[in-house]
Amino acid sequence: MTDSFQAPRGTLDWLPPRSGARRAMIGAFAARAERAGFREAQTPVFEEQGLFARTAGASSEVVGKEMYVFTDQGDRELALRPEFTAGIVRAYLEHGLSREAQPVRLWSAGSCYRYAAVQRGRYREFTQVNAEAIGSDDPAVDAELIALQVGWFRELGLEGLAVRLNTIGDRADREPYLALLRAFLDKHLGDVADDVRRQRDLNPLRAFDTKDPASQAVMAQAPVIADHVGAEAAAHFDRVREFLDARGIAYVLDPTLVRGLDYYSRTTWEVAWPELGAQSGIGGGGRYDGLAELIGGPPTPGVGFACGVERVLLALAAQERLPGVAPRCDAFFMVLADAARPTLHALMEAARDRGLACEADLAGRAAKGQIKQADRVGAARTVVCGDDEWARRVCLVRDMTSGEQIEVALDDLVGHLADLAGGAQA
């Protein structure tokens, strides 16, 4: 009843049949990440509000305007996680993961929360799959992450992706560049929108994110950070590109790509599926070598990405490529003798224990209705037990494809079904 404040009605993907596709997609992500050495990490849905404020930077949209913040009964200021990275790095620092072999690679999937203007592809509760590699500044790690993300999209069959890539250098490179950018903005303050003027003092890099066409035209003339990165960051970026090129991963260099959170350094990237329109970003990531220090830890390099599961679902649905999740039903139990139901339901449970998918009528349907229901669930066979069969402690097992039917003693039913299903699978 309250779904509509989180997402417009009809766009929720949490219910069948979309919920099956969602789980299959997340399952494919988990399996792919684990093949690449990532392990699952689950962090709390709510954390101390300061964790996100310190790390994302007060100028970020997410922290400034979009965070769900509340005070609990112990007077703690908490926030629903707007993203995974800060919580994962906090967990890495608090739970001794820095003593394991580096980089520690972790994947996660779950809900994130942002008080954003709801529209197609943009919800207040949404799902991210996320991957982080913490503890190595090797450029091969940046490429591993990008390859994992792009590889997942490829595995899902998503075509027509646009990958944009940039480097924003190290923090030390940024100050002299920001001075240049502020000077540029000062010259054009009269020609840009209010949000851009505000960013001049908060975080001038964000001026590039403006949606206002006139401001965008101004920003197209602005100095870009990629021209002002130091030698080390530039060499790192060249090497990342070499790793990507060797893997045949296509990308476009975009010197204006700065990403929304303050903690990024060096490599940044975004993946879009342009046909989604206004909310076309299906994933983004970057290196965040300064983040651990913002949380009170020692200098620790890291790189990671997140993808929006609902947007990927929208893109796959538009391409008619939602992962198929046809539910399986090995046997539908048509119990027409009321006295037989408890025994037949017990046999059904025993068959489930053997790994078979079984259902029975649970709504008092007459014979015709039960046949229809068996059809609806795509049952491979029916188990029929009417008064006559029950009196003889037998049932009829009918193959729904061939129409063949045999009589089986109830005592032998579970073994018989298991043999049939085993034979069918072999």
The residue ranges that bind ligand AMP (CB under 6 A) are 83, 114, 116, 121-123, 126, 128, 260, 281-284, 306-308, 310-311
Sort 342 into a burial class: Cβ within 10 Å, 0-12 / 13-18 / 19+.
Answer: exposed
User: Judged by CB, which is closer to ligand AMP: 161, or 397?
Assistant: 161
For residue 353 the two structure tokens come to 């224990």
Q: Give dist(CA 145, CA 295) in Å, integer.
A: 23
CB of 282 to ligand AMP, least distance (A): 5
CB of 88 to ligand AMP, least distance (A): 13
User: Judged by CB, which is closer to ligand AMP: 48, or 66?
Assistant: 66
Identity of the residue numbered 276: L
CB of 283 to ligand AMP, least distance (A): 5
CB of 133 to ligand AMP, least distance (A): 17
User: Judged by CB, which is closer to ligand AMP: 52, or 237?
Assistant: 52
Which long-range contacts does 419-423 make (Cβ < 8 Å, 24+ apart)?
Answer: 420/330, 420/381, 421/330, 421/355, 421/356, 421/380
CB of 86 to ligand AMP, least distance (A): 11
CB of 350 to ligand AMP, least distance (A): 44
- Find where tokens 């076309």 sit: 280
User: Judged by CB, which is closer to ligand AMP: 83, or 138?
Assistant: 83
Cβ–Cβ under 8 Å, residues 68 and 79: yes
Q: Give dist(CA 163, CA 152) in Å, integer.
A: 14
Backbone angles phi, psi at 104, to 5 degrees: -80, 125
Identity of the residue numbered 221: Q
47: left (phi over 0), alpha (psi -120 to 50) or beta: beta
CB of 248 to ligand AMP, least distance (A): 23
Residue nearest to ligand AMP (CB): 308
CB of 256 to ligand AMP, least distance (A): 16
User: Judged by CB, which is closer to ligand AMP: 92, or 123?
Assistant: 123
User: Judged by CB, which is closer to ligand AMP: 32, or 311?
Assistant: 311
User: Judged by CB, which is closer to ligand AMP: 281, or 384?
Assistant: 281
User: Judged by CB, which is closer to ligand AMP: 257, or 306?
Assistant: 306
Q: Which of 288, 312, 331, 325 is nearest to 419 (CA)?
A: 331
- Find the radius of gyration of the CA atoms of the chain: 28
Q: Give dist(CA 239, CA 233) in Å, integer.
A: 10
